[in-house]
């Protein structure tokens, strides 16, 4: 409810919220939220900032020219370049989404749903044309943890310690770190990442989220309402990862991003560190919710009661700290690897992807491996 305060909804309407799709808050019977209007690859903006607006996969000068890596004198200058590329992508995406909204209203109106939404009959307008009492469009922004970690590495190794130049980091990512193994090792081990109980990491994640929130809130969708921003991904963190080169965080080319805004698996050995950083985020900037996925595995010595109590304690601690949403897999990587080898024996193995469940053996290899490689915490 607090995350929706930008819109000044009456308290009695706010209290009647419900989750649309996986996690997205909408107001029951009054709100055309279109909460998955687009899956937005934020990491492309980081790549474009590193390449002066050039998108390496598309081989296209897509964004504005914001400077060669050698021209940035401070971290803030580079962050501003990233923001300029992020705004460029947001502008393109919202313009395209508005065209789709107009096409939808003509080709696929929804008269039945419109009769069930407050205000449509009074206005004489279908929900696809803005008839509902409240109208928003929700973006799922993908890659927040990957971008935060990359910016933390750039900030420390380039602008604070001056161990490497930004140009050297670009050369290393372009080569997928072949011949730059020492640099990658420093990226992976010498910087406190998001999810390591690092206030600096939380501050950078908040800075990114606020910038995107403010850009989108100022835009209007086809139905006349604002855009909202959430950080969840369903399975697109895997798909978008295949379309992205190596990153300054040390992530290799083609590997999945983290799901939603879940911290990187090697950020910390403690699940409590993950919980503290995610809970500290300013949820005023996240009005289309999040996906925070964790994998916990009980010990063979734990009783059923102990397992339930420990899971309860993790979830309650997160909520007491102000967290917005959290979801668990209680299955080991060992079990999932066994299911990959002998799928017929594990037909009933259900796993949590990112806001929804699926039978593990029906998933493609890349998505299975993303689940296997998530951080695994004991109870």
Other Cβ atoms less than 10 A from the Cβ of 330: the count is 14
Measured distance CA(124)–CA(71) in Å, rounded: 56
51-99 pLDDT, tens digit per residue, is 999 998 889 999 999 999 999 999 999 999 999 999 999 999 999 999 9
Say if 366 falls within a structural domain: no
What 8-state DSSP symbol labels residue 158? Answer: I
Burial 187-217 (b: 16+ CB within 10 A, else e): bbeebbbbbbbbeebbebbbbbbebbbebbb
191-230 pLDDT, tens digit per residue, is 999 999 999 999 999 999 999 999 999 999 999 999 999 9
- State what percent of residues in the chain have pLDDT above 90: 93
Is the confidence at residue 379, as pLDDT, over 90? no
- How would residue 300 be classed by pLDDT, with cut points 50, 70 and 90? confident
Which CATH number goes with the domain that contains 248?
3.20.70.20
- How would residue 2 be classed by pLDDT, with cut points 50, 70 and 90? confident
337-378 pLDDT, tens digit per residue, is 999 999 999 999 999 988 789 999 999 999 999 999 999 998
118-174 pLDDT, tens digit per residue, is 999 999 999 999 999 999 999 999 999 999 999 999 999 999 999 999 999 999 999
Say if 198 falls within a structural domain: yes
pLDDT at 299: 85
pLDDT at 57: 86
pLDDT at 22: 86
Please answer whether residues 48 and 55 qualify as being in contact, where contact means their C-beta atoms are separated by less than 8 angstroms: yes
- State what percent of residues in the chain have pLDDT above 70: 100
Say if 364 falls within a structural domain: no
* SS3 category, 228: strand
Say if 350 falls within a structural domain: no
Measured distance CA(266)–CA(276) in Å, rounded: 16
Say if 355 falls within a structural domain: no
Say if 72 falls within a structural domain: yes
Half-sphere exposure of 50 (CA within 13 A, CB side): 26
Backbone angles phi, psi at 140, to 5 degrees: -100, 105
Say if 145 falls within a structural domain: yes
Please name the residue that has the structure tokens 């949820």.
283
Within the chain, what is the greatest distance between any pair of CA atoms? 67
- How large is the average pLDDT for residues 185-191? 95
3-41 pLDDT, tens digit per residue, is 998 999 999 999 999 998 889 999 999 999 999 999 999
Sign of CA dihedral 71, 73, 77, 78: positive
Residue 325, token pair as written in the block:
């949403």
Say if 181 falls within a structural domain: yes
- How would residue 185 be classed by pLDDT, with cut points 50, 70 and 90? very high
Quick one: angle between helices 199-217 and 271-280, nearest 10?
Answer: 40
Domain that holds residue 268: 2-291
Structural domain count of the chain: 1
- How large is the average pLDDT for residues 222-241? 95
């Amino acid at each position: 409810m607090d995350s929706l305060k930008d819109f000044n909804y009456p308290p009695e309407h706010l209290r009647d919220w419900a989750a649309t799709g996986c996690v997205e808050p909408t107001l029951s019977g009054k709100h055309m939220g279109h909460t998955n209007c687009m899956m937005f690859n934020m990491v492309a903006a980081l790549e474009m900032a590193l390449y002066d607006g050039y998108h390496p996969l598309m081989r296209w000068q897509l964004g504005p020219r914001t400077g060669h890596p050698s021209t940035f004198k401070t971290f803030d200058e580079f962050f501003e370049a990233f923001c300029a590329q992020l705004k460029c992508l947001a502008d393109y995406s919202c313009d395209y989404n508005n065209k789709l909204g107009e096409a939808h209203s003509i080709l696929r109106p929804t008269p039945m749903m419109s009769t069930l939404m407050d205000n449509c009959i009074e206005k004489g307008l279908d929900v696809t044309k803005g008839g509902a009492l409240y109208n928003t469009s929700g973006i799922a922004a993908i890659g927040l943890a990957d971008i935060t970690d990359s910016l933390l590495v750039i900030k420390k190794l380039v602008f604070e310690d001056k161990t490497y130049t930004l140009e050297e980091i670009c050369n290393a990512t372009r080569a997928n770190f072949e011949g730059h193994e020492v640099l990658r090792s420093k990226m992976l081990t010498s910087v406190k990442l998001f999810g390591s109980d690092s206030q600096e990491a939380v501050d950078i994640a908040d800075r990114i989220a606020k910038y995107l929130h403010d850009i989108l809130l100022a835009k209007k969708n086809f139905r006349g309402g604002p855009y909202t921003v959430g950080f969840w991904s369903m399975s697109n963190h895997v798909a978008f990862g295949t379309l992205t080169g190596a990153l300054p965080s040390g992530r290799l080319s083609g590997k999945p991003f983290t799901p939603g805004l879940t911290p990187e698996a090697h950020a910390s050995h403690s699940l409590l560190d993950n919980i503290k950083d995610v809970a500290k985020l300013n949820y005023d900037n996240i009005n289309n919710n999040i996906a925070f996925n964790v994998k916990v595995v009980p010990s063979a010595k734990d009783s059923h009661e102990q397992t339930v109590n420990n899971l309860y304690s993790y979830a309650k601690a997160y909520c007491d700290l102000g967290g917005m949403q959290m979801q668990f897999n209680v299955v080991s990587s060992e079990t999932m690897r066994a299911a990959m080898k002998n799928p017929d024996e594990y037909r009933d193995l259900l796993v949590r992807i990112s806001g929804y469940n699926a039978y593990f053996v029906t998933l493609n290899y890349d998505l299975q491996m993303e689940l296997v490689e998530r951080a695994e915490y004991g109870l």
